[in-house]
Amino acid sequence: MVSAVTQTTGSTAAASSTAATTANTASTEFDTFLKMLTAQLKNQDPLNPMEGTDFAVQLATFSGVEQQAQTNKLLQQMILQQGGAGLGQTAAWIGKEARTTAPVWFGQQALTLDIAPDTRADDVALIALDARGNEVTRELIGPGAGPVEWFGRDAMGNKLADGQYSFVIESLRAGEVIAETQVGAYARIVEAELGEDGVHLVFEGGATAPASEILALRDD
């Protein structure tokens, strides 16, 4: 099993990038201001030197620019530390199976699905969707709730192609659909990464889901 923890561009990474850009801008302005002040002192007219009040204002501006540069450097460090901490905590999930409603990989092994129909239902239709969201199978499984094994067979009993699948159920009563619900499927976590909206988990087969959308964890 291959497992990894990586940090990519994400909300925290984006914030870090923004802080870095701001810090670099402030640092550039600081250097430019220092050069201008030095040049002004070197080239001022000895018979008409800079007024003390003007000099004090420039020194105050100099101090403010320096302080802004230091503040942005500190902000960047804090963001990086927070992002790393969240990623480190999620790394403990690698190797476990997570229940998610995101598409998961189906290959040679059956998938465990968590079925939770409407309590009023007298029958339930389990629908499998491919990676594009197209319906590929539909079967009546009865009104029970709990985990079921999905073996990925079509109406003729042939195995479906390997790929990413997601699932929904239709709760039926007297033949009418009274509710439609996404179904959680278990998939093994092989990687954690920092994405645009926080920490993402990567499953076997390459499917991903935000850590915030994980519904349950279990040991393999």
User: What is the SS3 assignment for the chain?
Assistant: CCCEEEECCCHHHHHHHHHHHHHHHHHHHHHHHHHHHHHHHHHCCCCCCCCHHHHHHHHHHHHHHHHHHHHHHHHHHHHHHHHHHHHHHHHHHCCCEEEECCCEEECCCCEEEEECCCCCCCEEEEEEECCCCCEEEEEECCCCCEEEEECCECCCCCECCCEEEEEEEEEEECCEEEEEEEEEEEEEEEEEEEECCEEEEEECCCCEEEHHHCCEEECC
Check residue 10 and give its pLDDT.
Answer: 42
pLDDT band, residue 192 (cuts 50/70/90): confident
pLDDT band, residue 8 (cuts 50/70/90): very low
pTM, entire model: 0.59
Q: Is the pLDDT of residue 208 over 50?
A: yes
Q: What is the mean pLDDT of residues 74-98?
A: 65
| Range in 17-26, 29-38, 132-141, 199-208 the model is least confident about | 17-26
Check residue 101 and give its pLDDT.
Answer: 93
pLDDT tens for 46-58 read 666 555 556 556 6
